[in-house]
Amino acid sequence: MNCRQLKEVADDLFKKKGSLNSLHQELALNFYVERADFTTSFSLGDEFASHLMSSYPLRVRRDMGNQVGTMLRPTAKEWFHPGIRYSEKVDNETKSYLEWFGETQRRAMYDPRAQLARAAKAADHDFVTFGNAAVSVEMNRHGDGLLYRCWHLRDMAWQENEEGQIGAKFRKWKTTAQTGARVFKNASEKLKRVAEKTPFEEVTFLHMVVDADMYDGDARGRPRWSIWYDCEHDTELEAIPIWGRYYVIPRWNAFASQYGSSPAAVCALPDARLLQAMTFTLLEAGEKATTPPMIATQGVVRGDLALYAGGVTWVDQDYDERLGNALRPLEQDLSGMQYGLQMNADTRLMLHDAFFLNALTLPQRAPEMTAYEVGQRVQEYIRNALPLFEPMEDEYNSALCDETFDLMWRNGAFGSPESWPKTLRGAEIAFTFESPLHDAIEQMKVHKFQTAGQLIAAAVALDPSTASLPKAELMLREALMGAGCPATWVNSEAYVADAKRQQEAQAQQQQLLANLQAGSEVVKNVGSVAPAAA
């Protein structure tokens, strides 16, 4: 296909995506008002949440969005580690290189110019609310560092390939003609003239990242094309073959189409609407309870009712109040207020659970709890949280780290592969991750070690020969790692094996000395007895 045909594919995808934008607009209006510009536009100074009666749905989305970053990318620790896929053990030289890869990549990703924190924060909240996020991973315009940017889902469209993975990706970029003429050196003469005459006129560009076989051109062995197209002037601006995917697009639940959905927001949307309606009703009922409606006798009250602090309502002085009060409050039954408040609290709890916040709290250990009870609570936490974050780790963290590593490697950040150990040349780099969830999984080893210790002690009391059954050194080593002890606190296996040999040698030497001493005592005793017998 040529560039115009690819644009037709993009136009068709954006057209079909119109109903999805309407759904995203509704989700944003209830949970993420800062992003509620899928079908409308904001003006500077707009009050985002003026249509809401309660901020609680916004807060549960905010808390869940913040939890994604805390769980997947805890900044207090090195949350990703490069390794070799399908390789369990590596030698020290290879391990040192992999650690250097990780340190170098971490410095590049957290360089303030890379803007990872800003892009990831926006992507986390898009992911939680809409089930999709779009982050570009590229070199900055100077070519001396990374650049991460999160793009509005309104401007993104993509399709799946035959393997169910995201293939072609399209992004609309609306900017001024002046900016377009400055960014694209091959801008058409039409665009340059517009930039000179009306520099602030809005122009739409289309960025297309497609597989190599979708575009008519020599990709030079590279798997994808990056193509820019000027939609206003029907002009191809540039077509560059690339190695990477350019866009990282994590999807939460992608079952019905190529677009993901958020099980949290979809489940919580009815409750959010209900909460807003109930809050409005309770506010009206509260106002009536504090300032009740009044009944006034016709022709007696002079003027309007002054229902404010210190207000005076005038009544005709000739009116005989034996006929009834000229002004009295309307009797109301407020017994239903308590039920309304209870329903409001129940709905908030349902929203809290819908965003999985009940599954993300690490269990607290009480002083009276046994190791078994703690272990059971940790297991329950893992069962609740693992199904939630394990797919995110694969779709989000892994894709982000893979794309970053590939981009840095091809731009020389890790030196020439010829200088790498042979085990790394041509090997597929894969990443492992750390998070509070993985920490909880590791801590289970501590509880298992404590439980095993109690069982072994009971068994040895019955049969001393069972003491040789457990691998005590391996159990202790893994328990220490699970407890979070630094590797520098634990001696290597070789050091421990050497120490064992020294201990065995010393034990043998002491046994030999003890045998020699016992033998000398026997000889001495025999020598002292012989003269007496003579």
- Using the predicted structure, report yes or no on whether residue 90 has a pLDDT greater than 50: yes
- Band of pLDDT at residue 364, cut at 50, 70 and 90: low
Pick the closest to residue 199 from 210, 186, 187, 211 (CA basis). Answer: 187
CA angle 251, 252, 255 (to 5 degrees): 85
Query: Percent of the chain beyond pLDDT 90?
Result: 45
Note the pLDDT tens digit of each residue in 493-506: 677 777 778 887 88
* Cβ 470 vs Cβ 456: under 8 Å: yes
Q: So what's the pLDDT on residue 60?
A: 96
* pLDDT at residue number 437: 62
CA-CA-CA-CA torsion for 216, 219, 222, 223, nearest 10 degrees? 0
For the stretch 162-205, pLDDT in tens is 888 999 999 999 999 999 999 998 888 999 999 999 999 999 99
Given this model, what pLDDT does residue 534 score? 47
Percentage of residues in the chain having pLDDT higher than 70: 86
Domain boundaries in the chain?
3-52+113-264, 293-330, 446-490, 492-523
pTM of this structure: 0.78
166 vs 438, which has greater pLDDT?
A: 166
pLDDT of residue 461 exceeding 60, the answer is yes
63's tokens: 């808390």
Give dist(CA 428, CA 409) in Å, integer: 13
CA 475: distance to chain centroid?
32
Most confident of 92-96, 98-102, 312-316, 392-396: 98-102
Bridge partners, 239 (sequence order) = 227
Q: What residues contact 207, with CB distance under 8 A and at least 6 apart?
A: 170, 171, 173, 226, 227, 228, 229
Q: Is the pLDDT of residue 234 over 80?
A: yes
CA–CA distance, 411 with 414 (Å, rounded to integer): 8
Q: Residue 408: is its pLDDT beyond 90?
A: yes
Q: What is the mean pLDDT of the chain?
A: 85
pLDDT of 8 above 80: yes
Give mean pLDDT, residues 319-329.
73
Q: What's the pLDDT score for residue 363? A: 63
Asked if 48 contacts 34 with a C-beta cutoff of 8 angstroms, the reply is: yes
Alpha-helix runs per DSSP H in 323-435? 336-354, 371-392, 399-410
Q: What is the pLDDT of residue 146?
A: 96
Average pLDDT over residues 396-401: 92
Per-residue pLDDT, averaged over 396-403, amounts to 93
Integer CA distances (angstroms), 195 to 20, 183, 301, in order: 34, 12, 71
